Amino acid sequence: SLCAAAEPNLSYQELKDLKKAKVLHIDVRERWEIDKFGKIPESINIPLGELMEALQMDPTEFKEQYNQKMPSKSDPVVFSCLAGTRSKQALGFATSLGFS
């Protein structure tokens, strides 16, 4: 399930623990923010403006573009951004597309 199902905010330690369990971590910040502030290890960057399209891609196209297996609708996914507003929107987008 999306980690925000019951608790929308995760601590740093909770995120580290989830990453050990092979959760897909999607950072929805803009690319310039990643360049300026740094990439979170083992996350993939899909800016919020691209997310709806990305989550509806053909799995082969997703892998080519993001170098990561596309999540299925039931895979655990964590979204992050700088302050939490965009990641909350990302969660709404994913839910509206049928991700659980």
**Using alpha carbons only, how large is the chain's radius of gyration in Å?**
13
Per-residue pLDDT, 11: 75
In a domain, 67, yes or no: yes
The reported pTM is 0.83
In a domain, 66, yes or no: yes
In a domain, 65, yes or no: yes
Residue among 28, 81, 90, 94 flagged as catalytic: 81
pLDDT band at 8 (very low <50, low <70, confident <90, very high): low
pLDDT band at 12 (very low <50, low <70, confident <90, very high): confident
Q: Which of 29, 30, 10, 8 is nearest to 19 (CA)?
A: 10
Q: Using CA atoms, how far apart are residues 37 and 91, in angstroms rounded to an integer?
A: 22
Domain range for 74: 12-97
The percent of residues above 70 in pLDDT, for the chain, comes to 89
Per-residue pLDDT, 23: 84
pLDDT digits (tens, 9 = 90+) for 42-84: 899 999 999 999 999 999 999 999 999 999 999 989 899 988 8
Per-residue pLDDT, 48: 97
Q: What is the CATH number of the domain that holds 58?
A: 3.40.250.10
Tokens 């992050």 correspond to what residue? 80
Q: Using CA atoms, how far apart are residues 5 and 29, in angstroms rounded to an integer?
A: 21
In a domain, 18, yes or no: yes
Q: How many domains does the chain have?
A: 1
In a domain, 56, yes or no: yes
Query: Over the range 41-73, which residues count as b (16 or more CB within 10 Å of their CB) and which as e?
Result: eebbbbbbebbeebbeeeeeebeeebeeebbee
In a domain, 4, yes or no: no
3 in active site = no
In a domain, 87, yes or no: yes
In a domain, 46, yes or no: yes
**Which residues, 6+ apart, have CB-to-CB distance to 37 below 8 Å?**
29, 82
